[in-house]
A = this chain, B = another copy of it.
Amino acid sequence: MTITTIGLDGDDTLWHNEKSFREAEQHFVQLLENCADKETIENVLFSTISRNIGLYGYGFKPFTLSMIEAANLICKRTIPSHLIKEILSLGRGMMEQPVKLIDNVVEILETLHKNYRLLLVSKGDLVEQARKLAKSGLADYFDRIEIVSHKDKAVYEELLKRNGLNAKNFVMVGNSLKSDVLPALAAGTFAVYIPYEITWIHEMADEPYNHEGYFKVEKIALLPPLVQAISSQNNGVA
């Protein structure tokens, strides 16, 4: 057995994402600075987003709706119309912004694509993820695009089944231990963690140091030799 297929996460693995949420949060704090102090605004926004994840899911639209709800909780009684307008613009601006690729992504995908089947396995809003992929210019490197609403063990098992894959032929690569690494390992695949400079608190988890299917690299440029090594080792064992 050998690695035939690599699953790659999108947000903060292939292109920058989390930063735009952090920037928008800072912008949101500025917009509301006449209503409350920074800490209160940040706390209300955070708790509103957390409360809404189950119902709204992930992405710019849930974030925009939660900003509006939080602004409404922070500014008592009435909200100036221009404030709502600015929050809607802030969300729209996030949706319309260009996609910035992580360093070396194009050449790495070019290299990997020659030897492996590549699947994009991204979590979030269908419209938003499809738009990011289109803007990224990376679509042609992928054999399949899998956009899912969440990533758990069952989702990875279904993905393997749908793509006719044995778990040991597959390695999942991403920046989230919680979404890309742990559930993929639970489904029996290999997993590579590439940390991003910031991690959203809802994606935090402990590293599975002792799991034999777990690997970590500091940047995507180190992925091709690692996958080759996993494949050889895997091959030797089977």
Q: Which residues of A contact B (CB under 8 A)?
A: 55-57, 61-62, 64-65, 68-69, 72, 75-81, 84-85, 88, 91-92, 95-96, 124-127, 130, 144, 147-149, 162
Contact = CB atoms under 8 A, between A and B. Distances in A.
Give chain A's interface secondary structure class. helix
A13 to B, nearest CB: 19
A81 B84 contact: no
Report copies per complex.
Answer: 2
Contacts of A84: 68-69, 72, 79, 84
A127 B95 contact: no
Nearest to A62: B61
Contacts of A79: 78-79, 81, 84
19 contacts: A56-B61, A56-B95, A57-B126, A61-B61, A61-B65, A64-B65, A65-B65, A65-B91, A68-B84, A69-B84, A69-B88, A72-B81, A77-B81, A78-B81, A79-B79, A126-B126, A126-B148, A127-B149, A144-B162
A232 B88 CA distance: 54
Contacts of A55: 92, 95-96
